[in-house]
Amino acid sequence: MEVVKLSIRLGRDSFQYNSEVLRKNGKFYYRANGAIIKITPIEARCVIRNPRLYYFSIALKLHLLINKKLKS
């Protein structure tokens, strides 16, 4: 299993948390705040390259999916 640790942030230091992109058996997962979701290889590559929260970013999309999973 391959793990890439990320620091997701909004702005410079106003909001920040740690997350990880996991690759296992050719499948990709995103883990943050104790929740794990399956993601596509393109989403994994995009969030690794740009771990910032802003409109239309993959990081924001994954952030919202994680929060939705945590609430259910």
DSSP secondary-structure letter at 52? B
* Entry pTM: 0.91
Phi, psi angle pair for 47, to nearest 5°: -70, -30
Cα 43 to its chain centre, rounded Å, is 9
Q: What percent of the chain has pLDDT over 90?
A: 89
What pLDDT was estimated at residue 11? 75
- 30, with CB counted inside 10 A (0-12, 13-18, 19+), is buried
Residue 38: beta bridge partners?
29
Domain map of the chain by residue range? 2-71
Q: Residue 12: pLDDT band by 50, 70, 90 thresholds? A: confident
